[in-house]
Amino acid sequence: MKIAIPTIGGILDEYFESCEVFTIFSVDDSYNILDSEIFYTPEGCDCKNNKPLIMQEKGVTFMVAYKMPSHADGVCEKHGIEVHLGYTGNVREVAEAFLQKKVNLITDEARK
């Protein structure tokens, strides 16, 4: 699994639409972060067309952000990228919080 987070100076960039940098975390099946890469979007790339397609090509399956325009959310999902909103802070801590939430959801489902 890969998680993309819009990034500015090591923190989550709250302005997804104009974001030019993403941190992409590679995660194993046990929800451990294996590594990360910084991805700079090409000039002219925007959320209406290129960003979700490029993220899909890079293997991204989750986009974690603070907020996102509704059209961008739909475009991401069209490209197989599940969007999770409401996050803020240091990108590594955001990724870890997202992964912990996923682990908790799986654990809760297993208890039913």
Burial call 52-61: b when 16+ CB within 10 Å, e when fewer? bebbeeeebe
Domain interval for residue 91: 2-111
| 41 against 87, higher pLDDT | 87
Q: Please give the pLDDT value at position 71.
A: 77
The token pair at 9 is 């100076």
**CA–CA gap between residue 104 and residue 45 (Å, rounded):** 35
Q: For 30-39, what is each residue's pLDDT tens digit?
A: 999 999 999 9
Q: Please give the pLDDT value at position 106.
A: 52
Rounded to the nearest integer, the mean pLDDT of the chain is 85
Domain containing residue 71: CATH number: 3.30.420.130
Which stretch of 17-21, 91-95, 106-110 has the lowest confidence by average pLDDT? 106-110
Tell me the pLDDT band of 104, cut-offs 50, 70 and 90: low
Among candidates 43, 73, 41, 70, which has minimal Cα distance to 58?
Answer: 41
For residue 37, the SS3 value is strand
Q: Is 50 exposed, middle or buried (0-12, 13-18, 19+ CB in 10 A)?
A: middle
Q: How many domains does the chain have?
A: 1
Q: For 24-76, what is each residue's pLDDT tens digit?
A: 999 999 999 999 999 988 765 555 557 788 889 999 999 999 988 877 778 88
